[in-house]
Amino acid sequence: MRPLSGRAGVPGDKSISHRALMLSALAVGESVVEGLLEGEDVLATAAAMRAMGATIERGADGRWTIHGVGVGGLLQPDQALDMGNSGTSTRLLMGLVASHPITATFIGDASLSKRPMNRVIAPLSEMGAEINASPGGRLPLMLRGLCPAVPIEYCLPVASAQVKSAVLLAGLNTPGVTRVIEPVPTRDHSERMLRGFGAELTVEEDGDGARVISIRGEAELTPQHIVVPGDPSSAAFPTVAALIVPGSEIVIGNVGLNPTRAGVYDVLRMMGADIEFVDRREVGGEPVADLRVRASTLRGIEVPPDIAPSMIDEFPILFVAAALAEGRTITRGLEELRVKESDRLAVMATGLRAIGARVEEAEEGLVIDGTGGAPLAGGATIATHLDHRIAMSFAVAGLAATDAVTIDDMTPVQTSFPVFTELMRGLGAELR
């Protein structure tokens, strides 16, 4: 196990990149986006917005220029919108189409075609969209928007930023005020960016502590210059790698630390991780810092379930950290992990066991008894099930294993973190 060292910067935030393209495509005039994540998921959003009329170009300097069509101006796409592996593209774009007078067919890969869409079909149908989905409320589906749509007040039955955003984006072209009530806070990039583009959006707390988000529709959006911060979800992989490989010390520059996203760093620190936030600043209206990470003796903890929404994508890599910690880590309240790109509770439990970790799988979480820092056995091949975060989590686990860990398919990493392998190698990781 060679220690990791050096400095790296992670690519742009995936959630913010999707939203930057969508809102730029709805503004009147030219927006510029710097630091856009050029991963397959975001490129699927770009292709869909182009198919509905926006002009989107990448300059030689890596900046993206977008000429929007104006709210209400989306055009009928000629072909099915191929969402690839991207749940965020699918659900947010369904929201946009729902209040435009167009019909669109959404298709995706095998993983996306298994994921539940009823969570967006329900509120968007209330707003007047007509949706014909495959059995079980899955892709492929056809959505016929209604214009003008009907404003609704919708209380989220699942903690999902995608559902929240779908309703808010549908509300953008709906007369009157559309309201989403969010009992458990989720990532707030849509709210921040909608405001940044000039939409009339307010966030209040009701008597029960729920967030009430109201958007006034038929908005006019003003083009923006957006700088996308580095993705904290991507940064979590080299972070955990440096924590679990003895002797490591690395710096990851420009990591977004929006409080609705950064829960994994709080939890790792609760476990004893040496993570320093250096040079805290703001980039594109989001808090950012450089992370200095040193190898640490981690201790198992009971992860407070209310932190889950702020680190929902980071559980796979947290489970790897837990597998090398001293003592027991208990996680609960994670039923949403079963409907991500794969069933992340089942796939992580199976894979971790195969490389020698002690893991019990419960309905809503994993219980992991760590090695106390001793390497895992390794020596197994992991099935990634078209899930980028499974691939990267086990690549990191392999760095702290005696025998090599083989990943059956690294191509899913292209969806969110195309430079993962080069970046890890640059820090000294032995990935073949």
Binding site for ligand S3P (CB under 6 A): 15, 88, 160-162, 165, 187, 312-313, 336
> What beta strand segments (E) does 111-176 contain?
130-134, 138-144, 153-155
Structure tokens at 115: 């994921």
Count CB neighbours of 346 within 10 A.
14
Q: Which is nearer to ligand S3P, 191 or 290 (CB)?
A: 191
Q: Give 187 or 211: the residue with its C-beta nearer to ligand S3P.
A: 187
The one-letter code for the residue type at 50 is R
Active-site residue, 313 included: yes
In this complex, which beta carbon is closest to ligand S3P, that of residue 235 or of residue 295?
235
Tokens of 398: 């392999």
Please name every residue paired with 103 in a beta bridge, in sequence order, or none if there are none. 144
Nearer to ligand S3P among residue 20 and residue 293 (C-beta)? 20
For the packed helices 315-323 and 344-354, what is the interaxial angle rounded to 10 degrees? 30
Cα–Cα distance between 78 and 73 in angstroms, integer? 15
Both tokens of 419, joined, read 């430079």
Question: What residues form DSSP beta bridges with 143?
Answer: 104, 131
Nearer to ligand S3P, 39 or 356 (CB): 39
CB of 165 or CB of 234, closer to ligand S3P: 165
Of 26 and 401, the one with the shorter C-beta distance to ligand S3P is 26
- Which residue, 106, 174, 158, is CA-closest to 334? 158
> Based on CB atoms, which residue is closest to ligand S3P, 14 or 296?
14
Q: How far is the CB of 163 from ligand S3P (least distance, A)?
A: 6
Residues 6+ apart with CB under 8 A from 380: 351, 354, 355, 405, 406
Least distance in angstroms from the C-beta of 410 to ligand S3P = 19
Residue 163, helix vs strand vs coil = helix
| Choice among 41, 109, 290, 313 that is catalytic | 313
Say if residues 142 and 132 touch (Cβ distance below 8 Å).
Answer: yes
Token couple for 146: 């209604």
Supply the minimum distance, in Å, between the C-beta of residue 83 and ligand S3P. Answer: 13
> What's the closest the beta carbon of residue 219 comes to ligand S3P, in angstroms?
20
CB of 61 to ligand S3P, least distance (A): 26
DSSP notation for 61-108: TS-EEEEEE-TT-PPPPSS-EE-TT-HHHHHHHHHHHHTSS-EEEEE-
Give the shortest CB-184-to-ligand S3P separation in angstroms: 10
For the chain, give the number of residues: 432
Quickly tell me which residue has 């003592």 as its tokens: 327
Helical segments of 174-258, H only: 189-196, 232-244
- Identify whether the C-beta of residue 160 lies closer than 8 Å to the C-beta of residue 117: no
Residue 368 pairs in a beta bridge with 329, 359
Residue where the block lists tokens 């019990």: 360
Chain centroid offset of residue 98 CA: 22
Quick one: 326 exposed, middle or buried, by C-beta within 10 A (0-12, 13-18, 19+)?
middle
**CB of 260 vs ligand S3P, minimal distance in Å:** 10
Q: How far is the CB of 370 from ligand S3P (least distance, A)?
A: 25
Note the Cα 374 to chain centre separation in Å: 31
Q: Catalytic positions, please?
A: 313
